[in-house]
Amino acid sequence: MSFWRALMATLAAALRDRGLVIMFVAAVPVYSFFYPLPYATQAIRHVPLVVVDLDASPMSRDIVSRLAAVPSVRIDGSASSVDEAGTALASGRIAGIVLVPENFARDAARGTPTAVTVFGTGAYPVQDKAVLGSVGAVLQGVVAEVGGVRVAHQGAPAAALLQSARAGPAFIDQPLYNLARGYGSYVVAAVGILIVQQVMLMAIASLVGTWLEARAGTLFGTPRVGWSTFAGTLIAFALFVFLALLYFIGFVFWFHDYPRGGNLGGALAFAVLTALTIASLGIALGAWFADRERAFQVLLATSVPFVFMCGIVFPREAMPEPINALALLIPTTPGIFGFVKLNQMGASWSEIRPEFLNMAALLLLYALMSGWAVHRRRQAWSA
Amino acid sequence: MAIPATPGLRAVLARELQHLRREPWDLALLLWFPAASLLLLLWMFSNGIASGLPIAVVDEDHSAASRELVRRMAATRGLAIAVQAPSLEAAQPAVRSGTVYGVVHIPANWERDGLRHMPQPVVLYDNAQFSLVAGIVGGDVRAAVSSMSLDSALASEARFGGGLTQAALRLGSVQADLRTLFNPSLSYEAYFAGMLLPVALHLFCVIAAVSALGREFRNRSVDAWLHAAGGSLARALLGKLAPLAAVYLLLALAVVATFAGWRGWPAAGSLGLWMVAIAVLMIVSIAIAILLVGLTINLRTALSLAGIYVATGLAFSGFSYPRAAMGETAQWWGGLLPYTHYLPVQQGQWLGAAPASAWAQGMAPLLLFIAVPLLIGLPLLGRAVRQPARWGGR
C-alpha cells in the first residue's frame, strides 16, 4: 500500500469507527472545558475561618475587620473557645481558626508578651499555606504597627519612626512566567498535555486492537506491510495527536487566558515530535493488547501516577531515582516539561535540549517497538 | 474449583474464578496492576519532604552580610544553591532551562543601605509555573531573609538598653503565631500518598467492576452467566462481584494499615471508623460500576464514562485547590462525586481527630452513592439481560 493510501485509509478508519471517532475528535475538547473547571477562579479565595476573639477590644475588632478584607479567606462566624471551633477544623468544615487572646490590646500596649495565633490544618496543605500566608501577612502588619507605637512610647525620634514606617519590604517574592500565580495556569498547562496523551493512546491503541481482532485496517488487513504502509498509518495517527496538541496550546491556553505562546515555533516543532512519539506508542500498545477495550482499562488508571511522575507537581529532586528513571519512558515526562518551558516560560530550543533528546529517544524506541509488535502479530498468523 | 453442575451462587463464583485463571489480563487488571500502582505511588512520595531544590543566587553586594544570607539560604532544608551568577541576565537561562527553580537577587549596597535604615529588598524571582516548588522555595528564602532582618532589628533595638536578651524580649513581646495542626510537618507522603492511594483504589475498583460486568455483554455471554446463577440476576451479580469486592476490601484495609501502621501515622480519630469509610468507598465503586454498565450496556462506553466521572474526581475533590475557592458549577459537580465526600471523612478520622458525629455526617452522603446508583443501575441491568439484541456492543 502506498504512503498516501495508508494515510487516507487510517484517517478514514478513525473517523468511521462510531465508537472511537469521539475519542479521536471530541474527547480532548470535552476534557479541555471540563478539567479546568475547578481551577477557573485561579486564586484561592473564600476559604472559611472562625475567629475566637477573647479580647473584644477595638484592637481585636480591627484585626477581624482587616481579615474580613483578605480575599483568600472568609470569616465564617466566631466561637467562644478554640476547642469549640477545633471540631470544625478537624472535620474539615473550616480551614482555620484565629485566636485573639484575653487582654491582647492591654498586653500589647504594655509590652507584656502576647500573641495572636492562627491555626491551619495540615490535612489540606495547599489550603493551610494559603491561610497561614494571607492571615499571617495581616497579623505581621498589625504586630509591626503595635511595635511602632511601643518604640514611640520609648521615645524614639519621630524621624527614625517615619523612616522605618516608610521603609519598603525586606523581601519580595516575584513570580516568573505565571505572573498572577494562577492555580489553573499551573495545573492545566501540565495536565493538558497528559490529557492529550491519554486520550490519544486510548483511541489509537483501541483502533489498532480492533484491527487486530478483525484482521483489518492498514496494518492487519493487507497482505503485506511495507515501510510506506507503516509510515502512512503512523503519520495519520500522529496527525490527530498533533491537532489535539495544537488545540491545547493554541485555543485552550488562549480561551482560559493562561500564559502562552512563549516560543510558538519551538512548540510547533516539539508538537510534531511528541505527536509521532505518542502515535508510535499507541500502535505498539494496540498491537500488544490485541483487543478493542483493553487500552481503556489499562490507561484510565495510569493518569494519576503519570502526572506526578513528570515532576512538575512534586519535584524530581524529592522522588526516588528509580522512579525518575522509569518516568523517562513516559512521553508526558519530557512532554509536559518541554511544552511548559516552550509555551509558558518562553524557552529557546537549546534550553529544552534534555526534553528534546528524551522525546527523540522515545520516538526511536516506540517506533521500533510498534514495528516489531506489528511484525510479530502478523508472523504469528502466517505460522 | 470446578464449576458445580447445579446452578447457584457457587457456580457463578466458580465460573468467575475460572475466567480469571484463563485470562491473565483480567486478573492483572483486578489485582496485580492496582497493587503495583499503590506501591509505586507510595514509593514516589516516600521521602516525605522536598529538599535540595536548586536555586541561583545573584549577589551584587559582595558584602559580609550578603555572604551570610547566602550561607543561611544554603543551610535551609529545602534549598541548594546550584548557580552563582554575576547578573540577573546571566541567571535567566538557568531558570528557563529548568536547571533552577528561582533566582535570589541581592542588590548592590544591600548591607550598607540596611545599616542606614534605608533597606533595599532582596528579591526572589521564582518559577510560578511550578507552584508547589515555588511555594517551598519562597518560604525558605523568606525565612533566611527574615532571620537576617530580625538580627539587625535586634541590634538596633539593643540601643535602648538591656542588652540583646532584653531587646529580644521587647521585640518579641507581640507576635503573630502561625501554627499548623494535624500533619504539622506537612509531610508530602501523608499529603499526596494519603490522598492518592484511596482515589487510585476507587478508580481501579470501578474499572475492574465495569470490566467484569461489561465483559458479559461484550462477549454475548449473558446467558451462560445467568444460567450459572439459575436465572437470578441478584445471585449472578453477587457471585461475579464477590471475588472483586474481597480483593478491593483487602487492598483498602492494606492502605489504612500502611499509613497507620507501617508508615507511622496512627489515626488521630478512630481507626475503625476510617476503615469502615474506605470499605464503603469500595462498595460505592462497585455500585457506580453497576450504574455505568446499566446505562451503557457497552464496556468501552462505560469505561469512557468512568474516565470522565471517576478519573477526574481528584481535581474536583478539593484535595489541593480548596472547594470553597471553586466556582459554583465546579462545587456542584464536586458534590456529585463520592471521593469529594470520602476525603474529609478520612482526613478527619486519620489526621484530625474528628468526633464520630462528624464521621456520621460525612458518611450519610456516601451511602447515597450506593443507594442511588443501585436503584437506577439494577433495573437497567435487569432489563438488558433479557434483551439479547442489545448485547455485543463494542
Read off the pLDDT of residues A96-149 as tens digits, 9 standing for 90 and up: 999 999 999 888 888 888 889 999 999 999 999 999 988 888 888 888 888 777
What lies within 8 Å, CB to CB, of B360 at 6+ separation is none
Tell me which chain A residues have a C-beta less than 8 angstroms from the C-beta of B41. 304-305, 308
Q: Residue A128 falls within a domain, yes or no?
A: yes
Q: CA of B6 to nearest chain A CA: how many angstroms apart?
A: 33
A109-123, A203-217, A287-301: segment of lowest average pLDDT: A109-123
Mean pLDDT score of chain A: 92
Same domain, A7 and A144: no
pLDDT at B241 over 80: yes
pLDDT at A335 over 90: yes
Tell me which chain A residues have a C-beta less than 8 angstroms from the C-beta of B332. none
The residue behind cell 469529594 is: B340
Same domain, A32 and A52: no
pLDDT at B340 over 90: yes
Cα angle value A166/A168/A173 (rounded, 5°): 160
Same domain, A139 and A27: no
Tell me which chain B residues have a C-beta less than 8 angstroms from the C-beta of A303. 311
Q: What's the whole-number mean pLDDT along residues B208-220?
A: 96
pLDDT at A301 over 60: yes
Tell me which chain B residues have a C-beta less than 8 angstroms from the C-beta of A150. 170, 173-174
Taking CA atoms, B26 is separated from A211, A367, B29, B243, in Å, by 21, 27, 5, 13
| Number of domains within chain A | 2
Q: Do A177 and B129 touch (CB under 8 A)?
A: yes
Cα-Cα-Cα-Cα torsion A6, A282, A351, A246, nearest 10 degrees, comes to 60
Taking CA atoms, A265 is separated from A270, A272, B92, in Å, by 9, 11, 20
pLDDT at B257 over 90: yes
User: ipTM of the assembly?
Assistant: 0.92
Read off the pLDDT of residues A228-261 as tens digits, 9 standing for 90 and up: 999 999 999 999 999 999 999 999 999 999 999 8
Read off the pLDDT of residues B175-207 as tens digits, 9 standing for 90 and up: 888 899 988 878 889 999 999 999 999 999 999
Read off the pLDDT of residues A21-79 as tens digits, 9 standing for 90 and up: 999 999 999 999 999 999 999 889 999 999 999 999 998 999 999 999 999 999 998 99
Cα angle value A271/A277/A281 (rounded, 5°): 145
What lies within 8 Å, CB to CB, of B71 at 6+ separation is none
Q: What's the whole-number mean pLDDT along residues B76-86?
A: 94
Q: CA of B5 to nearest chain A CA: how many angstroms apart?
A: 32
Q: CA of B4 to nearest chain A CA: how many angstroms apart?
A: 30
Q: Residue A25 falls within a domain, yes or no?
A: yes
Same domain, A194 and A299: yes
Q: Do A89 and B47 touch (CB under 8 A)?
A: no
pLDDT at A329 over 60: yes
Same domain, A219 and A121: no
Q: Which residue of A has its CA nearest to B172?
A: A113
Same domain, A209 and A351: yes
**DSSP per position, B85-137:** -SSHHHHHHHHHTTS-SEEEEE-TTHHHHHHTT-PPPEEEEEETTSHHHHHHH
Q: Residue A174 falls within a domain, yes or no?
A: no
Q: Which residue of A has its CA nearest to B208?
A: A297
Read off the pLDDT of residues B301-319 as tens digits, 9 standing for 90 and up: 999 999 999 988 999 999 9
Tell me which chain B residues have a C-beta less than 8 angstroms from the C-beta of A147. 171, 174
pLDDT at B65 over 80: yes
Q: Can you say how many angstroms the Cα of residue A353 is from the centroid of all Cα atoms in its chain? A: 22
Same domain, A241 and A220: yes
> Which 3 state secondary structure label does DSSP give B340?
helix
Mean pLDDT score of chain B: 92
Give the whole-angstrom CA distance, residue B314 versus residue B253.
21
Tell me which chain B residues have a C-beta less than 8 angstroms from the C-beta of A337. 98
Domain end call among A107, A140, A166: A166
Same domain, A121 and A223: no
Same domain, A97 and A14: no
Same domain, A270 and A315: yes
Counting one residue from A and one from B, how many pairs have CB atoms under 8 Å apart? Answer: 366
Quote the radius of gyration of chain A (alpha carbons, Å). Answer: 29
Q: Residue A173 falls within a domain, yes or no?
A: no
A94 confidence band (pLDDT: 50, 70, 90): very high
Q: Residue A200 falls within a domain, yes or no?
A: yes
Q: Residue A375 falls within a domain, yes or no?
A: yes
> Which 3 state secondary structure label does DSSP give B56?
strand
The C-alpha cell at A9 is: 485509509
What is the per-residue pLDDT for B2?
Answer: 61
Q: Please name the member of A93, A115, A300 whose beta carbon is closest to the beta carbon of B203.
A: A300
Q: Can you say how many angstroms the Cα of residue B378 is from the centroid of all Cα atoms in its chain? A: 31
Helix then strand then coil, in percent of chain B rounded to 5, is 70, 10, 25
Q: Which residue of B has its CA nearest to A297?
A: B207
Tell me which chain B residues have a C-beta less than 8 angstroms from the C-beta of A305. 37, 40-41, 44, 200
Pairing relationship of beta strands B122-127 and B79-84 according to DSSP bridges: unpaired
Give the whole-angstrom CA distance, residue A302 versus residue A134.
36
Same domain, A138 and A193: no
The C-alpha cell at B171 is: 521585640
Q: CA of B386 to nearest chain A CA: how many angstroms apart?
A: 24
**Residue of A94, A124, A146 best to disrupt the B interface, most CBs of B under 10 A:** A124
Give the whole-angstrom CA distance, residue B248 versus residue A244.
36
Q: Residue A171 falls within a domain, yes or no?
A: no
Q: Do A90 and B269 touch (CB under 8 A)?
A: yes
Q: Do B207 and A300 touch (CB under 8 A)?
A: yes
Q: Please name the member of A34, A173, A346 whose beta carbon is closest to the beta carbon of B142.
A: A173
Q: CA of B308 to nearest chain A CA: how many angstroms apart?
A: 8
Higher pLDDT, A382 or A323: A323
Q: Do B362 and A40 touch (CB under 8 A)?
A: no
Taking CA atoms, A31 is separated from A165, A275, B305, B324, B335, in Å, by 50, 18, 12, 22, 19
**Residue of A143, A150, A176, A199 best to disrupt the B interface, most CBs of B under 10 A:** A176
Q: Do A89 and B352 touch (CB under 8 A)?
A: yes
Tell me which chain A residues have a C-beta less than 8 angstroms from the C-beta of B174. 107-108, 113-115, 143, 146-147, 150
- Contact (CB, 8 A) for A344 and A260: yes
What is the per-residue pLDDT for B292?
Answer: 97
Q: What's the whole-number mean pLDDT along residues A11-26?
A: 95
Q: CA of A229 to nearest chain B CA: how many angstroms apart?
A: 27
Give the whole-angstrom CA distance, residue B168 versus residue B316.
46
The C-alpha cell at B367 is: 451511602
Tell me which chain B residues have a C-beta less than 8 angstroms from the C-beta of A340. 129
pLDDT above 90: percentage of residues in chain A = 77
Cα-Cα-Cα-Cα torsion A329, A330, A335, A340, nearest 10 degrees, comes to -110
Same domain, A272 and A368: yes
What is the per-residue pLDDT for B3?
Answer: 63
Read off the pLDDT of residues B11-64 as tens digits, 9 standing for 90 and up: 999 999 999 999 999 999 999 999 999 999 999 999 888 889 999 999 999 999
Tell me which chain A residues have a C-beta less than 8 angstroms from the C-beta of B304. 22-23, 27, 296
- Which domain, by its residues, includes A97? 47-166
Q: Do A126 and B344 touch (CB under 8 A)?
A: no
Please report, for the domain that includes residue A74, its CATH number.
3.40.1710.10
pLDDT above 90: percentage of residues in chain B = 78
Q: What's the whole-number mean pLDDT along residues A78-83?
A: 91
Tell me which chain B residues have a C-beta less than 8 angstroms from the C-beta of A118. 176-179
pLDDT at A383 over 70: no
Domain end call among A166, A192, A219: A166
Q: CA of B254 to nearest chain A CA: how many angstroms apart?
A: 19
Read off the pLDDT of residues B281-294 as tens digits, 9 standing for 90 and up: 999 999 999 999 99
Domain end call among A119, A142, A166: A166
The C-alpha cell at A136 is: 499571617
Q: Do A305 and B314 touch (CB under 8 A)?
A: no
Handedness of CA B121, B127, B128, B130 (dihedral sign): negative
Q: Residue A175 falls within a domain, yes or no?
A: no
The C-alpha cell at A167 is: 521603609
